[in-house]
Structure 1
């Protein structure tokens, strides 16, 4: 049986506070899985993993499920929309119920910030953060870093611009913590009402022109529903001022690459032609998510 310390060490709640050696170990193991020619490597054949998604995310859930099945694990998929959570059962009760049934690890995605940390202190199985509120999305940042390593050879010394709604972005936060720990320089670019002032001491805010001079230009998804709330005037206005248009993409350096956590609002944060351009690593990022998540799941329960 795992001790409390072991459970805590094997959980992945975020990248903030995770040291370089631990991040490197995960990325090295991801590289191992990436090189395997057999799709099925049943090292977790006797293990049960539950994907507990209290917030919708088709791509992330499919990526985790693919990773789990490639490792041979038995997978239980849980969606809050079809569960008793809608009838009043708490997130805590749901996780405890699945724990009681014998799962070996839980992959959790939820909207409230801070709840996952509280859950981790009350259960005796490792938990993996698949995105919690505006806090962190650690496996997204790990797959982003893995993509950068495959492209540039290493992360140390890279300049990475993260452009978009920093205030609400868990992707921006996990990348900030992980990339800076690995020796990259992170800088943000955002509309004034989408900045996260508390992060300014860790990464400077720069103009769009300055952001385009980076080695990696990482665009964030625009939540178009915020248009109704007045955070953006319109999708076209956002594209004009902060979108990676074809004109802006043409000004990127010869070695600069484009990234995006997906799904992409084409012709809003990135023009359609730029998504499909030679500089775009958006689809390789999705591919790299599977070996990265294999490494994280294996770390949790093997």
Structure 2
């Protein structure tokens, strides 16, 4: 029995082995071929998003509906959390009324782990503050695998606001586990040595990387704003830098994209960019994750 089916929760990429990841990819490929998973009609999912989201929230909704599920949507204003109810009690209430899957985004790192110990419903971490974002990592990994077919020996540079990035944390762990050489690009004050000490410049990154994974600058988690032009020139992907990338190299970004800050606006939809492909893959990857959690098919 693997971790996905035995735990019924996906809270961290550390819960997944390489075998788990590749089994999920096989499920995604079957979904893409039209050999979709068996439907989950009349089973209830709840999406509880206490922080803003466009891509993650919408793609989970579409994934759940494609699986035939009934879906409840809750945000901070809809739930009794605004009245002082704990996240655990909210989730326990949803479980008590028949919800079998809860997708949760909230700001406290590790909170879902403690809640999960006392819950029987399936639980997916859709981002916990600066902690982790495992389904984003899975769709990033799938997009890389789709292009290269193998991870072993690839050079991936993760560039941006590392200190505040749950995406960086999930991907750094998973990529290294899969045999990828991972390096990081960021401003000195945004370094996080719990991830690695392997920091390089953006100019070094574009010369050596097979995958350049850009991160959004999380302005809402900073006390002051910065010059967009200055950041792009020093740490972002300019047109000049993109021209120096390897012919086969690709660009990823979890979005939302700050055009003209992390990346020159013209490059968002360039031939090397897989940014919108990531979003497409997000639906099928999340369908596979839900199927695995709900039916123990891994």
Query: Normalising TM by the smaller chain, what interval?
Result: over 0.9
Q: Aligned residues, how many?
A: 293
Name which of 226, 231, 235 aligns with 1:233: 226
Instruction: Provide the rounded CA distance (Å) in 1 between the counterparts of 2:241 and 2:4.
Output: 48
DSSP 3-state at the match of 1:82? coil
Structure 1 runs (4+) deviating above 6 angstroms are: none
1:6–1:160 Cα change, 3 Å: closer
Structure 2 residue corresponding to 1:55, chosen from 48, 51, 55 = 51
- Contact kept, 8 Å, 2:201 with 2:235, in 1: the verdict is no
What is the CA–CA distance in structure 1 between the aligned matches of 2:193 and 2:178, rounded to whole Å?
A: 23
How big is the alpha-carbon RMSD for the aligned residues of Structure 1 and Structure 2? Answer: 1.9
Cα deviation code 1:141-190 (max 9, x no counterpart) = 10011111111112222111000011111100111111111121111111
Task: Indicate which of 269, 274, 294 corresponds to 2:262.
Answer: 269
- 1:131 matches 2:127: yes
| Residue number in structure 2 paired with 1:45 | 41
Q: How far, CA to CA, are the matches of 1:93 and 1:283 in structure 2? A: 37
What is residue 223 of structure 1 aligned with on the other side? 218
TM-score, normalisation: structure 1: 0.92
Counterparts in 2 of 1:112 and 1:8: CA distance versus 1, 3 Å: farther
Distance 2:285 2:4 in 1: 21
Shift of 1:7: 6.7
Q: Do the aligned residues in 1 keep the contact of 2:164 with 2:221 (CA within 8 Å)?
A: no
5 Å-filtered alignment, 1:98-137, equals 98-137=94-133
Provide the rounded CA distance (Å) in 2 between the counterparts of 1:123 and 1:180. Answer: 31
**Does the CA-based 8 Å contact 2:216-2:256 persist in structure 1?**
yes
TM-score computed with the length of structure 2 as normaliser: 0.93
- Give deviations 1:42-86, integer Å, cap 9, x for gaps: 611132111111212121110001111111111111111332211
SS of the equivalent of 1:104 reads strand
Structure 1 residues without counterparts, runs of 5 or longer: none
Q: Which sections of structure 2, spanning at least 5 residues, go unmatched?
A: none
Going from structure 1 to structure 2, the CA distance change for 1:8 and 1:136 (only over 3 Å counts) comes to farther
Identify which of 61, 66, 73 aligns with 1:65.
Answer: 61
